[in-house]
Amino acid sequence: MSERLDVGILGATGTVGQELIVALATHPWFRVAWVGASERSVGKRYADATPWRLRTPRPDAVAEMVVEECVPVTAPRLVFSGLDSTVAGEVEAAFATAGHTVVSNARNYRMDADVPLLIPEINPDHLQLLEEQTRVRQWPGKLVANPNCSTIVMTLALAPLCQFGLTHVMVSTLQAVSGAGYPGVSSLDIVGNILPHIDGEESKMESETQKVLGAVTHGRVVPHEVVVSAQTTRVPVINGHTALISVKFETPPPPGDIIRAFRDFSGRPQAEQFPTAPCHPVCYLDDPNRPQPKLDVDREGGMAVTVGRLRECPVLDYKFIVLGHNTVRGAAGAAVLNAELMKVDGLVSI
């Protein structure tokens, strides 16, 4: 794939948009050629329209681009969407209707029956839903979505366990403030505090997990039967969602089998060496004081999740802790990995 494909970014000035720009800056298959944002940014140089919030420097080539209106006129055929859900539904549909391929981070279409909700290590076969999407919506383009950030972190840890007959999951999250965007949560609310409610987050984790782990039959996803009970909180951590998980199985395996399942887990992105894929998507650590956001959130460029503290649970069968980077593996990096899968499968082209 020597020729790089021009791509655009919807919502390029926001937190996820900035992470997408960093993820694509040196990508061997894709090149950012177009940036779109809200009316207040249109017509400005990207550098003038965007207060840069990331530690990685803003790429010079993108800094000089002029921000465009989020309409499918001059945009490339492949666009990544970091739009807020309040506007994403209408804008993304307009792009798909105009023949563009949209890789979305927004929640608007995730649970639609004909929209693949992708984690490429887990359910790459769900891309076959695009045939039904074309038939039903008659879009010349197409739309795929990645799950909610906390869902991705949790489900990457659950997928290796499905082989043991996973039946029930109880999860409580400790979610970073970067997940709320910028300016996000007021410092007076979050410093020295925990916020016990994140709007819509619990229901997303409960329903999206079943779709991702489900099987496609006759053009639709039959949801996995696992029952998920989620509680979500916001904590004073910059990056990294931590999930405290208890699981129940049809027949509980030995703990050594679970640890081996974590460490051996991989999928097509690893087998086919996608550029953004981590070598080990799930990393299990024996240290009882890990994972920690400060030490583990950037593992494999933020694309791997870290698991630790597997032990017996007196209520279900086992419990453990998983950590993942919410704006990388949980958002921008997830979208880029989805696009790489589509590229390999011939669903996007130059």
pLDDT classification of 182: cutoffs 50, 70, 90: confident
Catalytic residues: 149, 241
Nearest-angstrom CA–CA distance, 222 and 250: 20
Per-residue pLDDT of 326-341, as tens digits, reads: 999 999 999 999 999 9
Rounded Cα distance between 303 and 215, Å, is: 24
What is the pLDDT, as a whole number, of residue 3? 83
> Taking 90 as the threshold, does the pLDDT of residue 349 lie above it?
no
**3-state SS class at 29:** coil
Cα–Cα dist 153/95, whole Å: 29
Quick check: 272 pLDDT over 80? Answer: yes
pTM above 0.75, yes or no: yes
DSSP state of 69: E
Query: pLDDT per residue over 134-160, tens digit each?
Result: 999 999 999 999 999 999 999 999 999
